[in-house]
Amino acid sequence: MNDVFLKACRGEKVEYTPVWLMRQAGRYLPEYQAVRGNVDFLTLCKTPELAAKVTLQPVDILGVDAAILFSDILIAVEAMGMNLEFSDKKGPVLSEPIRTKSAVARLTVPDTEDSMPFVLETIKILRKELKVPLIGFSGAPFTLATYMIEGGSSKNFLHTKKMMFQNRGLFDYLMKKLTKTVISYLSAQIVAGAQAVQLFDSWAGVLAPSDYKESALPYVKKAVTAIRKEHPETPIIYFVNDCAGILKDAKKSGADVIGIDWRVDMSEAVKKLGKKVVIQGNLDPCALFLPKEMIDDRVIDILDKAKAAKGHIFNLGHGILPETPVENAIAMVEAVHKYSRS
Ligand code: CP3
């Protein structure tokens, strides 16, 4: 068992810097496309044998040090009672966005065993097959709320902010339900065999720092505290996209590892996050379109700067893009392993 990733999560000394990629199972891999050609995305998420198969693909092809469960953050939103569809053009669509008290009241805090058994089954299959640790995940409460309130992806998050600013009680009611869902969903994944968990706060960076502190962070903190209490051994990673303005606050989440995007320089991130948390990140996903020698340079730069942190897990600053040449992703992983050893 390769446990370099878990050691790094705990801030222990490692022989090289572990690396994995957000969205490492996906459309840039022809092997994924081949599976996806026969089933729609949600069916793929809900068929344990297939979900396990595509989870394993990047581990073998890229040589990464961790696997991430193949699923989607919106699976839990569907389980709460919303109608979810993925359209090739528009991305996720949640019909009947949540805008009223009665709509929030109708949402359930799902029991994972009952309403998402396929997730737990996938984890169990994977733990038998994997030789690297398995990361479970959930959307963070604010990011999940944006999809539910907007009804899908958004440009300016107007409906979400309107609810936050004009109907605080309702926003809070929704966020509390989401926080309970996140806690119980991640705990169930850990019980089933996930060895670390990541909270994706992909949209927290659209908030002004004071709004982040008031309307997103407290719920993340609550989730981290509850999961830590039940599962003190399991590392918790908190990824915040567009994090530059809120890094000092994101640290207060209490997570063991903070994942950062590429818009902030690694030195600056280390300075702001201090010596108590491990940092994950943060190569620009578009850097994988550079010539290979230049990918090396960027990898070396991030590795060097991250040496000042408590620990470092190499990753992209956000998900890998579908257009990415596979050989460049492989080259990046090799570069991380090679240069962090010397
Ligand atoms: O990282 C992995 O390899 C595990 C699988 C994973 C997926 N989604 C698969 C996926 C994970 C961890 C996610 C998380 C997720 N999903 C996030 C947080 C991370 C981030 O990117 O910010 C978000 C915001 C979503 C919601 C989502 N899912 C959107 C907006 C879309 C459409 C855009 C797109 O990339 O197509 C998805 C679809 C999705 N999730 C795909 C995959 C492989 C593509 C579906 C396909 O095969 O057609």
Decide if pLDDT at 239 tops 80: yes
pLDDT in tens, 14-23: 999 999 999 9
pLDDT attached to residue 71: 98
**Annotated catalytic residue within 27, 127, 263, 298:** 27
pLDDT attached to residue 53: 98
Indicate the pLDDT class of residue 221, thresholds 50, 70 and 90.
very high
pLDDT in tens, 30-42: 999 999 999 999 9
**Annotated catalytic residue within 10, 36, 228, 263:** 36
Decide if pLDDT at 245 tops 90: yes
Residues with CB under 6 A from ligand 1: 22-27, 36, 41, 68, 70-74, 86, 91-92, 137, 153, 200, 202, 319
Residue 242 · residue 206 · CB < 8 Å: yes
| Distance separating the N- and C-terminal Cα atoms of the chain | 23
Q: What is the mean pLDDT of residues 206-221?
A: 98
Q: Is 16 a catalytic residue?
A: no
Q: Which structural domain range is residue 22 located in?
A: 4-341
Q: What is the mean pLDDT of residues 6-20?
A: 98
For a ligand 1 pocket test, name from 23, 119, 316 the mutation site with the most ligand atoms within 8 angstroms of its C-beta.
23
Q: Which position has the higher pLDDT, 92 or 342?
A: 92
pLDDT in tens, 278-325: 999 999 999 999 999 999 999 999 999 999 999 999 999 999 999 999
Q: Is 10 a catalytic residue?
A: no
Decide if pLDDT at 342 tops 90: no
Q: Is 23 a catalytic residue?
A: yes
**Annotated catalytic residue within 72, 265, 297, 301:** 72
Q: Which position has the higher pLDDT, 90 or 264?
A: 264
> What domain count does the chain have?
1
Centre of ligand 1 to C-alpha 23, Å, is 7
Centre of ligand 1 to C-alpha 45, Å, is 11
Q: By alpha-carbon position, which residue is closest to atom 40 of ligand 1?
A: 72
Q: What is the mean pLDDT of residues 108-135?
A: 98
Q: What is the mean pLDDT of residues 54-59?
A: 98
Q: Is 341 a catalytic residue?
A: no
Distances (CA, A) of 210 to 168, 216, 246, 327: 15, 10, 9, 42
SS (H, E, C) the chain: CCCHHHHHHCCCCCCCCCECCCCCCCCCCHHHHHHHCCCCHHHHHHCHHHHHHHHHHHHHHHCCCCEECCCCCCHHHHHCCCEEEEECCCEEEEECCCCCHHHHHHCCCCCHHHHCHHHHHHHHHHHHHCCCCEEEEEECHHHHHHHHHHCECCCCCHHHHHHHHHCHHHHHHHHHHHHHHHHHHHHHHHHHCCCEEEEEECCHHHCCHHHHHHHCHHHHHHHHHHHHHHCCCCCEEEEECCCHHHHHHHHCCCCCEEEECCCCCHHHHHHHHCCCCEEEEEECHHHHHCCHHHHHHHHHHHHHHHCCCCCEEEEECCCCCCCCCHHHHHHHHHHHHHHHHC
pLDDT attached to residue 90: 87
Indicate the pLDDT class of residue 89, thresholds 50, 70 and 90.
confident
Return the ligand 1 atom nearest residue 69 CA: 4
Percent of the chain topping pLDDT 70: 100
Q: By alpha-carbon position, which residue is closest to atom 46 of ligand 1?
A: 41
Residue 269 · residue 315 · CB < 8 Å: no
Nearest to 140 by CA among 227, 77, 199: 199
> Where does residue 91 fall: left (phi above 0), alpha (psi -120 to 50 degrees), or beta otherwise?
left
CATH (domain of 185): 3.20.20.210
Residue 275 · residue 310 · CB < 8 Å: yes
Percent of the chain topping pLDDT 90: 98
pLDDT attached to residue 88: 84
Residue 188 · residue 71 · CB < 8 Å: no
In sequence order, the β-bridge partners of residue 257 are 237, 278
Q: What is the mean pLDDT of residues 223-237?
A: 98
Q: Is 72 a catalytic residue?
A: yes
pLDDT attached to residue 189: 98
Indicate the pLDDT class of residue 257, thresholds 50, 70 and 90.
very high
